[in-house]
């Protein structure tokens, strides 16, 4: 079962430690931060499935952290729960109203109740089809919201990213290692956006298949795509065994007992700009974007990552 990631932002070490120990024992992956800026950096690099925020922090308030998460296209969907000693009506109004948090818990708290509320908000996000079950990235509903936004925006750029050879890799290495590749892809796209993109850039993951969707500005998309290809090709080998990595391909056993050789995974990126339109609905937009994505190319017997621009 995939571990859901919880970001705990709390400057009191005893409370932070308690929450980390408890939620880790319940099967979650727990990331902690005692400062707001550190919390935002963690969320940008590895978006959590849910954030537990204290309000009183040394460098900024939990309300400001929540507003920053909501303002970022890649973290605005994350459920936020305030866990704080500030229980006045005005405090709750700010948290639930201005920040649009999903829940507000006043200290002292019952940790089992906190768990119930965490579980409820995670389940609600999944039921709404808003997060991918493996990576926790925005998916169906949120992707459609972003595509609808593009229909009335200009200029924009949309990239469809596909991991070539993923199904064969899963066949040889198994589903658990395959999920690690999906998580690697999600983290890599976020890191590349942090390097050469902007906070308003959006990235989501399709529910089926090793496919990601990214929206950005036309003047940034080329650098993002090129950096993504560069890093993917450099780092994907770490998911293979040393012999496979050294020879540059994997051996697949056929049902008749024969073998075939398959290249290591690569990425194909198709890029669509608003100037390729007009587009009148999200179905037309998504189908056109999918058609732009190029097939994997083979050079000298080796599959290469590839980028294609325009219709």
Task: In the chain, count H helices and then E strands.
Answer: 11, 14
Rounded Cα distance, 272 and 221, in Å: 10
Q: What is the pLDDT of residue 48?
A: 93
Q: Of 103, 127, 151, which residue constitutes the final position of a domain?
A: 127
In this structure, the answer to whether residues 119 and 153 fall within a common structural domain is: no
What is the block-wise mean pLDDT of the chain (311 residues), using blocks of 10 residues? 87 95 96 96 91 94 95 91 90 92 94 96 83 87 92 93 94 92 94 93 91 96 96 95 92 84 92 92 90 75 80 65
Residues 182 and 209: their CA atoms lie apart, in Å, by: 9
pLDDT of residue 140: 86
Looking at residue 302, its pLDDT comes to 66
CATH number at residue 31: 3.40.50.2300
Q: If we measure between CA atoms, which residue out of 105, 103, 84, 106 comes closest to residue 10? A: 84
Residue 133 inside a domain? The answer is no
Domain count, the chain: 2
What's the rounded Cα separation, in Å, for the pair 184 and 232? 9
pLDDT attached to residue 305? 87
What confidence score (pLDDT) does residue 296 get?
72
Domain boundary among 127, 162, 180: 127
Same domain, 96 and 163: no
Among 70, 102, 127, the domain boundary falls at: 127
The pLDDT assigned to 208 comes to: 80
**Which residue, 293, 294, 286, 271, is CA-closest to 158?**
271
Same domain, 231 and 114: no
CA distance 202 to 150: 11
Q: In degrees, to the nearest 5, what angle opens at C-alpha 207 toward C-alphas 194 and 32?
A: 45
Predicted local distance difference test score (pLDDT) of residue 254: 81
How far is Cα 181 from Cα 149, in angstroms, rounded to an integer?
A: 30
pLDDT for position 136: 86
**Is residue 165 located within the same domain as residue 220?**
yes
């Amino acid at each position: 079962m995939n571990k859901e990631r919880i970001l705990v932002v709390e400057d009191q070490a005893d409370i932070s430690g308690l929450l980390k120990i408890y939620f880790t024992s319940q099967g979650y992956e727990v990331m902690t931060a005692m400062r707001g800026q550190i919390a935002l950096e963690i969320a940008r690099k590895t978006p959590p499935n849910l954030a537990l925020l204290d309000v009183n922090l040394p460098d900024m308030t939990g309300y400001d952290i929540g507003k920053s998460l909501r303002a970022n296209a890649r973290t605005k969907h994350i459920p936020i729960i305030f866990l704080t000693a500030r229980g006045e009506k005005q405090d709750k109004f700010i948290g639930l109203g201005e920040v649009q948090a999903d829940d507000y818990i006043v200290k002292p708290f019952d940790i089992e109740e906190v768990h119930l509320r965490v579980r409820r908000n995670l389940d609600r996000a999944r039921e709404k089809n808003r997060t991918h079950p493996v990576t926790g990235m925005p998916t169906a509903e949120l992707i459609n919201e972003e595509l609808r936004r593009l229909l009335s925006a200009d200029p924009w750029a949309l990239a469809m990213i596909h991991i070539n050879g993923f199904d064969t890799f899963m066949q040889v290495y198994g589903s658990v290692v395959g999920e690690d590749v999906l998580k690697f892809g999600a983290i890599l796209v976020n890191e590349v956006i942090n390097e050469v993109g902007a906070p308003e850039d959006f990235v989501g993951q399709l529910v089926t298949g090793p496919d990601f969707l990214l929206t950005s500005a036309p003047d940034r998309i080329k650098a993002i795509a090129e950096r993504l290809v560069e890093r993917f090709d450099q780092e994907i080998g770490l998911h293979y065994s040393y012999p496979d990595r050294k020879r540059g391909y994997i051996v697949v056993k056929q049902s008749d007992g024969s073998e075939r050789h398959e290249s290591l995974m690569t990425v194909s990126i198709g890029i669509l700009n608003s100037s390729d339109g007009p587009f009148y609905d999200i179905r037309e937009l998504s189908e056109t974007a999918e058609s732009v994505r190029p097939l994997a190319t083979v050079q000298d017997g080796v599959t290469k990552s590839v980028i294609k621009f325009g219709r």
